[in-house]
Amino acid sequence: MELESIYQNVIDGNAPAVQAGVQAALASGASADTLLQDTLIRAMQEVGRRYEIGDLYVPEMLIAARAMQAGLNVLKPLLVAGGVQAAGRVAIGTVHGDLHDIGKNLVGMMLEGAGIEVKDLGNDVPPEKFVQAAQDGAQIIAMSALLTTTMASMKKTIDALEKAGVRNKVKVIIGGAPVTSAYAKQIGADGYAPDASSASRLVKELIGA
């Protein structure tokens, strides 16, 4: 019952209720891992599904993600102490020259909501910073571009990964309004996702989680 109300509160975007619910569930003996899987991750999957079919709008997804985050913040120290590994490590950013971050943020939130460790490099991210993230152990480099004029930075970043000798250590995925799967192939990316839910599925597929 308790778990069900946490799940619903994530979907409704009620952050204080999620935080309190998670704390109460822990106090009554639920495990952090169970709470993560059965409430937060499951709720964000549902949020992603409804967004994908046009049932939820961007602000609703943002407040759901914020509520998920409130629960995750309570669980994180316990998950770390308990040795629970993240399902994967992704470094995400909007490419050099581009300041649009909503799509990138939505993808980051969905990934976190899927139990993946996300390093947010922000927007206007130069290729060197993506290279650094790859050297620091990211398994996936996720790039976003919202403008036809900044897409070329994706290719430049892949070239920079090659040059630094880390291209084969990471998978590269891309997305954003002007981006297509054909473009992903053309610049040698490993995948393309049209929206945040698909991005989360794509990441899991690529890292075999």
Name the one range near another protein by CB under 8 A: 4-12, 52-60, 164-172, 201-209.
Answer: 52-60
Q: How far is the CB of 90 from another protein (least distance, A)?
A: 21
Residue 144 phi/psi, 5-degree rounding, is: -125, 140
Q: Which is nearer to another protein, 35 or 145 (CB)?
A: 145
Determine contact, residues 125/167, Cβ cutoff 8 Å: no
CB 178 within 8 A of CB 151: yes
CB nearer another protein, residue 155 or residue 201: 155
Tokens 């993600």 correspond to 65
Of 10-18, 26-34, 56-64, 197-205, which segment contacts another protein by CB under 8 A?
56-64
Q: Which residue matches tokens 């989680």?
A: 209
Distance CA 93, CA 83 (A): 28
E-strand stretches of 30-182: 89-94, 117-120, 140-144, 171-175
Residues 120-179 that bind another protein (CB under 8 A): 123-124, 147-151, 177-179
CB of 107 to another protein, least distance (A): 13
Alpha-carbon distance 195 to 146, whole Å? 13
Q: In whole angstroms, what is the distance from residue 124 CA to residue 144 CA?
A: 10
Measured from the CB atom, the residue of 113 and 176 that comes closer to another protein is 176
Q: What's at 107, amino acid-wise?
A: V
Window contacting another protein (CB under 8 A); options: 31-39, 74-82, 83-91, 182-190 = 182-190
Please report whether residue 20 would count as binding another protein according to CB under 8 A. no
The interface region with another protein, picked from 24-32, 98-106, 108-116, 132-140 by CB under 8 A, is 98-106
Does the protein bind another protein through residue 30 (CB under 8 A)? no
**Should residue 99 be labelled a site residue for another protein when binding is judged by CB under 8 A?**
yes
Q: Give the end-to-end CA distance of the chain in Å, rounded to a whole number.
A: 29
The residue ranges that bind another protein (CB under 8 A) are: 57-59, 61-62, 97, 99, 102, 105, 123-124, 147-151, 177-180, 182-183, 186-187
